[in-house]
Amino acid sequence: MTGLEDHLHGLWLPLVTPFQGGALDERSLRRLTRHYSAQGIDGFILGATSGEGMTLREAELERLVAIVRDEMAAGRRTLPICLGLSGADTARLKDRLDETADWPIDGYLIASPYYVRPSQRGLLAHFETLADHAAWPIALYNIPYRTSVNITNQTMLRLAEHPNIVGLKDCGASREQSIALLRDRPKDFRVLTGEDANYFEALVDGADGGIVLSAHVETATFAAVYAEAKRGNHDAALARWHEVADLTQLLFTEPSPAPAKYWLWRCGLIDSPEVRLPMVEVSSELAAAIDREIERRTKVAA
């Protein structure tokens, strides 16, 4: 699959990475891939924040991509894959682009450099250098509350002119900035929200979709929110949104992706809720709250 910009819309799932006994749980990963490939999602993000990518060794990350691609090839539906990359060293990220150039992916999701807080000129040079070097298209990831630096719209619009930069995961935490970017962006530059709680409002504002961790649960409903919003049926989209809006709070009560992993474990989609340090599994209080919500939704569905 090629032409990431043609596929960068709709509901994308930042897939969790299942572990068991400290290792990549390949059996659970295959189960997850089969399950979500049959749902109404439009693409996978692998090895990013929700996938605990910063704890994955290179061999694990490569195996993760290979298994997901292999499992989709064995099924009925092939979806695009974006590989999450992050780092504060431009030269090292160029090396990572070289190391992953022949992997079976369709593009990259690359976050702003964290901790070092570069200037806007530094951000521009950083991302242009990577885009010049990358074998696959790049979607930017603006999340200043994690990286301590915001990509301003002025910088973003300059980056959007680069032929190898095709879109954005927008976690800018400013609706005003997001609306202005949606208004001024080039027509082929895709913007997907990465803020689960703002999924509906972002679609109403004109975003092309969302990269939504909460869509691991009630996936069809999250997909329906997008489908109704795209058709202009805002009342229907809002009604479906009300069915899942509370999940976007519950699943971020404690650091993600531990709550989502606990939910998936309780529902039998993964064999363990294990996360890697410095993440820890959910507290007993949150586990009980998730159990109650699972029970409530099971009764409603029945």
CA distance 74 to 34: 9
CA distance 202 to 88: 29
Pairing of strands 107-111, 209-211: unpaired
**Contact, 251 vs 281, CB < 8 A?**
no
| Catalytic option among 36, 108, 169, 261 | 169
CA distance 164 to 209: 20
270 labeled part of a ligand binding site = no
Catalytic residue flag (residue 169): yes
283 labeled part of a ligand binding site = no
| Catalytic option among 36, 141, 226, 262 | 141
Rg (CA), the chain: 18
Pairing of strands 10-14, 43-46: parallel
How many Cβ atoms sit within 10 Å of the Cβ of residue 245? 16
What SS3 state is found at 149?
coil
Catalytic residue flag (residue 141): yes
102-138 residues labelled b (16+ CB within 10 A) or e (exposed): ebebbbbbbbbbeeeebeeeebbebbbebbebbebbb
CA distance 107 to 189: 14
How many Cβ atoms sit within 10 Å of the Cβ of residue 199? 28
Give, for 31, the enclosing helix (H) or strand (E).
helix 26-37
**What are the catalytic residues?**
141, 169
Residue numbers in the known binding site for pyruvate are 50, 211
